[in-house]
Amino acid sequence: MAQELTETGLTAESVRGIFGLPEQDLRQYSPLTLAFIGDTVYETIVRSMVVLRGQRPAKALHREKVRYVSAPAQAQIVARIEDKLTDEEREILRRGRSTKTGSSARNASLADYHLATGLEALCGYLYLKGETARLLALLREGFGESDEG
């Protein structure tokens, strides 16, 4: 039975409950399925961060967003967080990085594109698993954000 509509926040668990969707073993999901949702989760986090820094013209918001949402930027994030990942997270990243995507990298090296896909798979996995606090902590580290800033 679907849970009652309340102010639960947008999480995979709330979506599952509201729509009465069954539990799934996330380890069985393909890396591209995880990256499919992870791409949106990652971009939503970045867009939220950019907008919450203050209102600006849309063009300025877009320019700042692009600093984070590109294969080279995402590859740098992976480099900053890789040694902080659990074995399980490292495996999801590896699976995402190693998968054949069926599309080619635009304005990025193939290596950066694969790292970005791995990061997106990790974002999707942590979101679907309900570990958004962990995801935000990793991205904060990856963005180079300090406790003071």
Write out pLDDT tens, residues 28-79.
999 999 999 999 999 999 999 999 999 999 999 999 999 999 999 999 999 9
DSSP annotation of 3: P
Q: Are 128 and 38 in contact (CB under 8 A)?
A: no
The domain defined by 29-143 folds into Ribonuclease iii, N-terminal Endonuclease Domain; Chain A (1.10.1520)
Task: Output the CA–CA distances (angstroms, integers) from residue 89 to 43, 61, 131, 135, 146, in the order listed.
Answer: 19, 30, 11, 10, 22
The whole-number pLDDT of residue 110 equals 85
Least confident span in 76-85, 107-116, 123-132: 107-116
Q: Over range 68-93, report the average pLDDT.
A: 96
> Which entry of 39, 87, 112, 147 is annotated as an active-site residue?
39
- pLDDT, position 99: 85
* Residue spans per domain, the chain: 29-143
Q: What is the band of 149 on the pLDDT scale with cuts at 50, 70, 90?
A: very low
Banded pLDDT at 5 (limits 50, 70, 90): low
Q: Is 25 a catalytic residue?
A: no
Q: pLDDT tens digit string along 125-145?
A: 999 999 999 999 999 999 997
Positive or negative CA dihedral for 40, 43, 49, 50?
negative
Give the predicted TM-score (pTM) of the model: 0.88
